[in-house]
A = this chain, B = another copy of it.
Amino acid sequence: MQRRLFNNLSSLLKRQQYKQPYIYHSVSYSTTKSVPLTSETYSSKVSRNPNYKKLDAKDLDFFKSIIPETSIITDNDDLLFYNEDWMRKYRGQSKLVLKPKTTEEVSQILKYCNDNKLAVVPQGGNTGLVGGSNPVFDEIIISLSSLNKIRSFDPVSGILKLDAGVILENADQYLQEQGYIFPLDLGAKGSCQVGGNVACNAGGLRLLRYGSLHGSVLGLEAVLPDGTIYNSMHSLRKDNTGYDLKQLFIGSEGTLAIITGISILCPARPQAQNVAFLAVNSYEAVQKVFVEARKELGEILSAFEFMDQTSQVLTAKHLGISHPIESGDYPFYILIETSGSNKEHDDEKLENFLGAAMENGLVDDGIIAQDESQIQSLWSWRESIPEASTMYGGVYKYDVSIPLKDLYGLVEEANKKLEEAGISSLEDEGKPVVAALGYGHIGDGNLHLNVSVREYSPQVETVLEPFVYEWISSKKGSISAEHGLGFQKKNYIGYSKNDIEIKLIKEIKNHYDPNGIMNPYKYV
């Protein structure tokens, strides 16, 4: 069996010739069908708050007085990118995008908006998955794209300070040159911005190893609605002087403040990396392999991802190549990554672990990448799933935490529900739903349930919601593991938080944003 594990490698090398698996927006913007307005799709659930002022010429004059006209977008075509989300599910009606270049400009803009009750939406790379960075009505979009400089890096401590608008992949490439790694990695890295990542408390692929942003972010600079610049850009690993207020802004999705700068602790870049892609015969085997991997690979385990069969079928179709595990048709696949300081030791640990797992019958087939390009190729079978899920037209995404033993049950239940409703078929193009599929970060108890659809339809939504949230709540899970609440889950927080928690959250919102101008109609 173990020989089989390595036999696939030569064929893998021949077959996988595509590059750039990270082009994230390519699918969604290839279609011309227009995205319906959020305010129309959800007209029964949301209406414009008349307390907010409507933008007028005087407001525009003010903004022109503080930032150059090249930083102001009012053209309808140009606005579209900022009004729509990449899933093509949400579309706002903003008439104005502002792209400040400095924290001071952000401060002046926010103060004016707050004084005049103009609602705003902060926006990073616009790669969010819950409609959190798009306006619902005519909110002004404040894009952080032009605030995009690396501020400083200390190669002894590994502490990086940078503007919020730096693209994640650019930050990581900068660090690579210094022998360090950004402690966050996710599929959208080529487009998403670090400020958005922090505002949404992004989790991603290596949380298992590098922990959450609540631990790695050491300091923030953020602008409060009244224009106050909260400058807490500390570069100390430990600092117990006062409440750790920055933590409130991590994961607040732009509802309290606009993050403009980040100080973050970056680990040394691992000198050795391995990726294994495995096929197993049941979800039970996925769990067992995980428990063994954590024990045997210990400190070098840096990712443990699982993918179901449907996700791989769609991804193969999307990428247009055949699957790395040729014999195909396994119900589950696992991607294991190790990162360490000694290649020889890591190889030995991984080979011992895989040998034992195959001998025990836990793993049925598999591949170990032999070089960097194979590592990228194997990762693409995991990272391309989000795009593959939208290839038929759209996707309903649920990103949830569920105790491990129950985790995959949600995908099975969702498929059952959709089939019972007679609206799901892989082949029949007359059905709105293609399939429900599951994948995600087993190591974090985090499932991504994607329901791939040919079109968005209230019928599909009615089958899925609140069923999905009720199911998660019954298992004491979270209705949002890492994607946040945004617009999509605003009304469902009660499935994950109790009344007192929600009350205290609303009090904090009111404490910092009494006029409610920050990213309204969302979150809580």
Q: Using Cβ atoms and an 8 Å threshold, which residues of chain B touch A214? A: 214-215, 244, 247
Judging by beta carbons under 8 Å apart, are A240 and B483 in contact? Answer: yes
The complex places the Cα of A493 from the Cα of B243 at a distance, in Å, of: 11
Binding site for B on A (CB under 8 A): 154, 156-157, 200-201, 203, 207, 211-212, 214-216, 228-232, 234-245, 247-248, 250-252, 256, 268, 270-271, 287, 291, 294-300, 339-342, 345, 348-349, 401, 403-405, 441, 444-446, 476-485, 489, 493, 496-498, 500-502, 504-505, 507-509, 511, 523-524
Judging by beta carbons under 8 Å apart, are A477 and B236 in contact? Answer: yes
Residue from the list B244, B476, B501 in contact with A232, Cβ < 8 A: B501
Judging by beta carbons under 8 Å apart, are A240 and B485 in contact? Answer: yes
Q: Using Cβ atoms and an 8 Å threshold, which residues of chain B touch A215? A: 211-212, 214-216
Known: A216-B215, A298-B268, A504-B230. A236 touches B404 (CB 8 A): no
The complex places the Cα of A242 from the Cα of B482 at a distance, in Å, of: 11
Q: Using Cβ atoms and an 8 Å threshold, which residues of chain B touch A256? A: 243
Identity of the chain B residue whose Cβ is nearest the Cβ of A338 in the assembled complex:
B299
Known: A156-B291, A247-B247, A500-B230. A207 touches B507 (CB 8 A): no
Known: A214-B214, A298-B268, A341-B297. A241 touches B480 (CB 8 A): yes
Residue from the list B203, B238, B483 in contact with A203, Cβ < 8 A: B238
Known: A247-B248, A294-B268. A444 touches B238 (CB 8 A): yes
Judging by beta carbons under 8 Å apart, are B245 and A505 in contact? Answer: yes
The complex places the Cα of A339 from the Cα of B295 at a distance, in Å, of: 13
Copies of this chain per assembly: 2
The complex places the Cα of A437 from the Cα of B5 at a distance, in Å, of: 58
Residue from the list B201, B445, B484 in contact with A236, Cβ < 8 A: B445
The complex places the Cα of A157 from the Cα of B290 at a distance, in Å, of: 11
Known: A404-B157, A445-B157. A240 touches B345 (CB 8 A): no
The complex places the Cα of A370 from the Cα of B214 at a distance, in Å, of: 37
Judging by beta carbons under 8 Å apart, are B240 and A508 in contact? Answer: no
Query: Smallest Cβ distance from A304 to chain B, in angstroms?
Result: 12
The complex places the Cα of A157 from the Cα of B403 at a distance, in Å, of: 8
Q: Using Cβ atoms and an 8 Å threshold, which residues of chain B touch A237? A: 207, 401, 444-446
Identify 9 residue pairs between A and B in the complex whose beta-carbon atoms are under 8 Å apart, listed by A's number.
A201-B240, A207-B238, A239-B496, A240-B251, A241-B478, A242-B523, A270-B298, A299-B339, A341-B349
The complex places the Cα of A341 from the Cα of B295 at a distance, in Å, of: 8
Judging by beta carbons under 8 Å apart, are B500 and A511 in contact? Answer: no
Judging by beta carbons under 8 Å apart, are A236 and B299 in contact? Answer: no
Judging by beta carbons under 8 Å apart, are A236 and B156 in contact? Answer: no
Known: A236-B481, A477-B236. A497 touches B404 (CB 8 A): no
Query: Smallest Cβ distance from A354 to chain B, in angstroms?
Result: 15
Judging by beta carbons under 8 Å apart, are B239 and A401 in contact? Answer: yes
Judging by beta carbons under 8 Å apart, are A241 and B341 in contact? Answer: no
Judging by beta carbons under 8 Å apart, are B493 and A242 in contact? Answer: yes
The complex places the Cα of A151 from the Cα of B230 at a distance, in Å, of: 39
Judging by beta carbons under 8 Å apart, are A500 and B238 in contact? Answer: no
Extra A-B contacts (17), CB below 8 Å, given A201-B240, A244-B248, A298-B340 = A200-B240, A203-B238, A214-B215, A230-B500, A230-B501, A231-B500, A232-B497, A236-B481, A238-B401, A241-B478, A241-B493, A242-B523, A243-B248, A247-B248, A248-B248, A341-B349, A508-B511
